[in-house]
Structure 1
């Protein structure tokens, strides 16, 4: 029985391209959770799969020069969010990076989410999911969410003209009605900066 489930899991995985991330729940229709985990452990022992975090498996893709190509911490976080049908919001350095305000790529990343709060160790870093406030989750524009998180990381005293110019460029692509809605949900000092930029 266990061997049969292992073969069925293996066959299901080979229907996808290498580099895909899998979770035990992806195979729930093939057997009990215990049997699925045992099957995944055996496939890991056979190096058919790589376990990149607790309960997170990679169907490895190998580069002729660089060896195994591991997914980024962000790709893993997005895969977890997709599995959980949860929304995730980048914070800190990652928010700055996504807006082009920083070249730093953090190894330890924190997301705000409407899903479960927890921490996961991956590769050489970690992913932390923290509960997002209902107020922030009510923001409609993903760009404005990133602006709010990036400015919180910088703090008001560090927001210079170069940063304001970049934020202005981003805001110019947004619908005015959405901006009007979203700035009511931002901290007061951030709302003030956005108002000043869209008025210019």
Structure 2
């Protein structure tokens, strides 16, 4: 096996089973051509699995079922790396995860700063929908989930009960990040963030 392939497998094993990656994950190992060739060889040998165009994973294994499907969240992270777009759970997913909605999206869905599209990976469909709300850089998922949930619910559906509910889901660091991000949000959303902050302090 080539030196590039050896280095790739060392990193893959270090990340652990379930990791989803793209050639960009190994740009420090050589030219794009040499990385692509090494990934192709590793996939052919069964060391890694190709799950989509430019997407690979180190599949989790089940004693009876064999290689398991990739986790949608890990696929989404790899797609974000591949395209350079920022991703967050979609508003519908975020509202469900936060306990504000009982509606479970039929398939994994993410808000993106890029264009809307559907990607197939490892037998799964992921819906990527262009976000009207900002996807915040270097913010925890909990913060981006609240931003997307607010956008999904809409200005007229945010009552005091929901504001209190949001307030219970945030720690001090999350709240500081939300406050700092207000200039990037629509005005009404920034106002709601202030109300959430007041509810936490009330």
Structures share fold, TM-score greater than 0.5: yes
- TM-score when scaled to structure 1? 0.68
- Confirm or deny: 8 A CA contact 1:60 1:69 kept in the other structure: yes
Deviation, 1:29, is: 5.7
Aligned residue for 1:19? Answer: 18
Within a 5 Å distance, the mapping from 1:1-200 to structure 2 comes to 4-5=1-2, 8-10=4-6, 12-14=8-10, 16=13, 17-28=16-27, 32-82=31-81, 87-102=86-101, 104=104, 107-113=107-113, 117=115, 119=117, 120-122=119-121, 123-128=123-128, 130=130, 136=134, 142=140, 143-160=142-159, 162-171=161-170, 173-174=172-173, 180-197=179-196, 198=198, 200=202
Deviation, 1:149, is: 1.5
Q: Which runs of 5+ in 1 are unaligned?
A: none
In 2, distance between residues paired with 1:51 and 1:33?
Answer: 17
In 2, distance between residues paired with 1:29 and 1:53?
Answer: 22
RMSD of the TM alignment (CA)?
3.8
- Confirm or deny: 8 A CA contact 1:44 1:50 kept in the other structure: yes
Q: Which runs of 5+ in 2 are unaligned?
A: none
Q: Which has the larger radius of gyration?
A: 1
- Confirm or deny: 8 A CA contact 2:179 2:193 kept in the other structure: no
More deviation in 100-109 or 170-179? 170-179
In 1, distance between residues paired with 2:80 and 2:154?
Answer: 28
> May I ask how many residue pairs the two structures share in their alignment?
192
